[in-house]
Chain A
């Protein structure tokens, strides 16, 4: 049954091993734009597509890559897809491109993409690597969209640019500024951890060891998942 590993990967990347609240990876580039839902959506779509396609490409040519230049080649492939996304944004969504500014380029340094490339694509087939990349991106997107909903709602009184709060509403400026992003990620993390450990206690299986923040260089961060090919 080829569906089952795919679903397992989906569940893993979106929940049990969610890049943000379990692995604490990759928040740098996107936190800055989470005070606006539209920009967050476009940024996370960018990360999603880049992770998927670069994992796919790296997996496809992994047997050709010499060991010595492995990291550089991976970075090159990731940069390639990010530049394509940047070019597309500049051409078709210039306003968004201006608002996102340098953060689109920073997708290259997003630890998740490198983490999936090192941890999964290097050891698995192209299609499943693509799926792994996409699902990691989905996990990433869900968390950051949740953050963006709260920040835009309370900070601007709107969702996706449409004003939904009444005129008399005083926006919470703190929600537009940096500190709120940190607090909200911490709260989401707390919430998710409690949800994850509670059913695990009743099921008798050990809780996920997500308490340790990911140390060391990016390659060591993602636990390699080997698929029975």
Chain B
């Protein structure tokens, strides 16, 4: 049964109160490695948001018009992965043809995103929670923007931290994880912001 959550509230909630990375731990691998550089973080975040929204829309359609009627729920994982790979591939081709400038800032990250857990994760959440189309698209867009916001914040913080004396064992990934932990704590403070119904 479709939950009765207002899609607009869902959008804001998925950016702040249930941030796909800071609360749901999805999309960490590339998050930690790319956040060293602000520019790449911006590009990757944009790419993730873009891909998430489009693949969520396509996956919803496939889920409700192909998988459900044919009773193929047990194959959903494979179908979703294929949809993600296909969408990423097509997007890459379109962007490459349409605008080389856009390709340089966004397109090069696309192959990286195919196995990003955040994409598949958001789609699986959509499936488990039975969102309708509008809810799915806004949830996906919000999750992407939340991820983008988180990586930008982290990149900004890392630029400063890396100039400071960090203990040898914590350099790189260690201090990054601690920073992410503090960011997660800060985002918990948003949880009173969204009023439901």
Contact = CB atoms under 8 A, between A and B. Distances in A.
A and B touch in their complex, CB below 8 angstroms: yes
Interface of A: 24-29, 31-32, 72, 75-76, 79-80, 82-83, 86-87, 101-102, 105-106, 108-111, 114, 174, 177-183, 185-186, 189-191, 193-194, 197, 211-218
Classify chain B: how many residues form its interface, as a range.
35 or more
Given A28-B28, A180-B181, A217-B115, A108 B120 contact: yes
21 contacts: A24-B33, A24-B173, A28-B117, A28-B121, A31-B28, A72-B85, A83-B75, A86-B74, A87-B74, A102-B124, A105-B120, A106-B124, A109-B120, A178-B184, A179-B181, A183-B177, A186-B177, A186-B181, A189-B173, A211-B173, A217-B112
A213 B28 contact: no
Contacts of A186: 170, 173-175, 177-178, 181
Contacts of B176: 213
**Dominant secondary structure of chain A at its interface with chain B:** helix
B81 A108 contact: yes
B170 A215 contact: no
A174 to B, nearest CB: 8
B24 A32 contact: yes
The 3 nearest A-B residue pairs measured at CB: A182-B181, A102-B124, A186-B177
A197 B174 CA distance: 15
B126 to A, nearest CB: 9
B170 A190 contact: yes
A211 B78 contact: no
A182 B184 contact: yes
B77 A211 contact: no
B27 interface: yes
B85 A189 contact: no
A114 B111 CA distance: 14
Contacts of A183: 177-178, 181
Given A179-B188, A194-B169, A28 B74 contact: no
A82 B77 contact: yes
Given A83-B78, A101-B128, A25 B181 contact: no
